[in-house]
Every structure is written in C-alpha cells, then in structure tokens.
Structure 1
Amino acid sequence: MSGRGKTGLSREEARLWKHVVRDARPLPGRARLKGSVAHPGQEDRDNQASETSSSDETAGKAKMPSSLPPRKVAPKRSQSTPELSHGMMAGIDRRSAERMRRGKMPIEARLDLHGLDQQKAHGELDGFLARAQAQGLRCVLVITGKGRFSDEGGVLRKQVPKWLNLSANRNRVLAFDYARPQHGGSGALYVLLRRQRETGERGS
C-alpha cells in the first residue's frame, strides 16, 4: 500500500484525483495557488467557510447605519420688523406719541368696518391705508366696533391689529392705539402712517 502524503491521500489516490480535476475550472474568486491540489472534502469546507464569512460581512453591514442623521440647523433669527401692538410707540417722537394717545392729533380720514364680514373688511382696510399714505395723510381712524354680543370682543376688533401687522400694511403703519371715547373708544383705532419717503428709506 502506497504511503500517504500531506493531503492524507496515497500517491495512487493523489494521481487519480489530479486526473479527475485536471479539466476543472475554479469559480470566480476561488482561484488556487499554482501547483496546489484539492482533495475530496476540501471544496465543501472552503464553501462553508466562504458562506460564514459572507454572512458575517452582511451582518456587519446591517449594523452600520445607511446614512448619518441629518444635521440640525438652528433657525435663523427673523430680521423682519417687530410686531406692533396697541400703544407701542417705538420710533416716534415723544410729542407725537403723546398727542396720538390723547386724541389730539388731527384725524385726516375715517374708515368704518362695522358690520362687514372679514374678507370684505380686510380688503377695505388694505385699500384705505394705501390710498391714505399715497395722499400723504398722517393719522387716520379705523372703526372696528366693540362686539357687544361677545364677551371677548368683536371679530374685527381682534383681527384688524393682526392685519395691520401683515407685510404690506406693516410697511405703512408706524403705530396704532385705541381711540379716545369721543372717537369710538375701544371700538376704534388711531393709526399713524409712515410718510412715503420714510417707507422708501426703510426699504433701502
């Protein structure tokens, strides 16, 4: 009986095995070193090791996040003009502010929104303020009504200050405040308008 080599095969078995595999071609990625001889069972062990390695690699990839979480960008501070509220007189000289509060400033035009629905009232307000500013008027009176049938006040009484702060009107309005009793009290507003040259300077 022939002696067995390092592969565990006898010389005769090794010779027969070489004859069997001489025309075999390795699978992609499975090329062997020149001169090496595979023996029965070796290929199965190699395939098993390859499958284990592939499985470990897949598991490793699964643990890795597909992408980094999006960076949180801090919101930019608004550079818009501060919102106006009743009696806010920033940017107005003290004498003019005091005259407006006391109802001493001449009222150059009036707009009565009392009884209009919100859509109609909003349109009327926008047009009125645009015309008043174009005519160079300084102080106008906007009548909203007090909303006697609501404990919280009328709808227009709450909405008009919001509309005065919308973009187009905010560029026209310097200040507003509740009127004095003789001009309608809390059911009306004094509105102080910017002069057109002031609007142009502010936008530049």
Structure 2
Amino acid sequence: MARRRTLRPDEEELWQAVARSAQPLHPQRIRSHTPKAESAQHMVEAKGHSPAIPHFRVGEKARHVPGHDILPALRDQLATQPLRMDAKSFARMSRGKLSPEARIDLHGMTLTEAHPELIRFVLNAHADGLRLVLVITGKGSRRPDDHGPIPQRQGVLRHQVPLWLRMPPLGAVVLQVAVAHLRHGGDGAYYVYLRRGR
C-alpha cells in the first residue's frame, strides 16, 4: 500500500481546482485529504484561537518550564478522603488533642520488613479494642530531586503506608487515616483510627 505524502503547493492548487468541480457521490460522507492535525490547526486558526503550544523558532533559546508533579501531596490526598469518623473527634485528633493508645516505628525498615509488621500491629491493636494508634514512617532520607524518566518519591514508606492501610486485610479495620500533628511526628507519622471491635 502506498504511503500518503504531503502535496506540494502546485499539486495542492491543482487538487483544489479538481475538488471544486467534482460532485460527491455521497455528500454526507465528504472527507478531506488533509491530515487531521493540519485540519485541526486550520479550524483553530479559523475560530481565532491561538494554538496551545507557544511558537518556537529554530535557534531560539528554550524557555525553562518548571517541573510539575501531577500527583497531589500526601496531606492533600488524605484531606480529600471522605470523613468516616465523628467530625468532632477528627478535629481533636488532627489538632493533636487525642493521644494515641499505641505506636509503631517503621523508621529505617524496608518495604518487605515494614508491611508484615504494620499488618501485625494494626490487627493486634484492633483485637485489643484500641481506637487510635500512631504509625511512624519518618519523612525519608534527604536526596537531590530525582529528574529521571520514572522519578522516585522521597520517603517510600511514607507514601506506601496509606495505601497498605486501605488494602486488605487492614482496610476492613481502619476507619480513618490522617497525617499526625507536629507533636506526634507531623508529616513523618500517621494517625490510624480503628473501627470498634465486634
């Protein structure tokens, strides 16, 4: 099958003359020979809108575009989750007014070490009838920004623990997860509010 190519200006002019004189067999199915990108560009220009991509000339210095993170911060992710516990208790917990009944420190553990420890701790706390526990993850080691093709976030445990707390078997016993108040560790710890035992 022959590949489609772009028409030269003289060929384009000839094609337009032929196209104007032709009668379509099926007027409802008229298709243009121009590629979709070109026709979309012509439509944008015809409507008077400027293209979304800024104009750039060869040899011109590239404008620095600051990197952006499409994933919201952990604090924002947790804040957008629905409130499943009493609003007054949640407000007191967020301000650090409620004291955790137990705590676990996952600081310095690998993901494979931390996951079973977290499961054991939370399920035991729920079995013991505890309601509020503190999970300390740490903020992660400081390192320069990662600009690789697949950037890795600082504080792997800090980002993984909220996911584990929503997944089975912990999701069934966890009612609410929130970032801890500064007096209990701030961004390096989470309050985990557990459901009542049955």
TM-score, structure 2 normalization: 0.54
In structure 1, the partner of 2:135 is 142
- Pair 1:133 & 2:106 matched: no
* Number of residue equivalences: 113
Moved over 4 A (4+): none
| 3-state SS of paired residue (2:163) | helix
Alpha-carbon distance between aligned partners in 1 of 2:158 and 2:134, rounded to the nearest angstrom: 13
Q: CA deviation at 1:148?
A: 3.2
Alpha-carbon distance between aligned partners in 1 of 2:93 and 2:82, rounded to the nearest angstrom: 10
Q: Which residue identity lines up with residue 92 of structure 2 in the other structure?
A: R
Q: CA deviation at 1:89?
A: 4.8
Deviations 1:144-177 (A, max 9, x none): 0101324532110011011001121000101111
In structure 1, the partner of 2:117 is 124
Q: Which runs of 5+ in 2 are unaligned?
A: 1-76, 146-152
> Which shifted more, 144-153 or 98-107?
144-153
- Pair 1:165 & 2:169 matched: no
Alpha-carbon distance between aligned partners in 1 of 2:121 and 2:160, rounded to the nearest angstrom: 16
Q: Which residue identity lines up with residue 128 of structure 2 in the other structure?
A: Q
* Identity percentage of aligned residues: 50
Alpha-carbon distance between aligned partners in 1 of 2:137 and 2:175, rounded to the nearest angstrom: 19
Q: CA deviation at 1:105?
A: 1.3
In structure 2, the partner of 1:86 is 78
Q: Which residue identity lines up with residue 121 of structure 2 in the other structure?
A: F
Q: Which residue identity lines up with residue 86 of structure 1 in the other structure?
A: L
Q: Is the 8 A contact 2:84 2:176 kept in 1?
A: no
Q: Which runs of 5+ in 1 are unaligned?
A: 1-84, 198-204
Q: Is the 8 A contact 2:138 2:188 kept in 1?
A: yes
In structure 2, the partner of 1:155 is 156
Q: Which residue identity lines up with residue 133 of structure 2 in the other structure?
A: V
Larger radius of gyration: 1
In structure 1, the partner of 2:21 is none
Q: CA deviation at 1:99?
A: 1.1
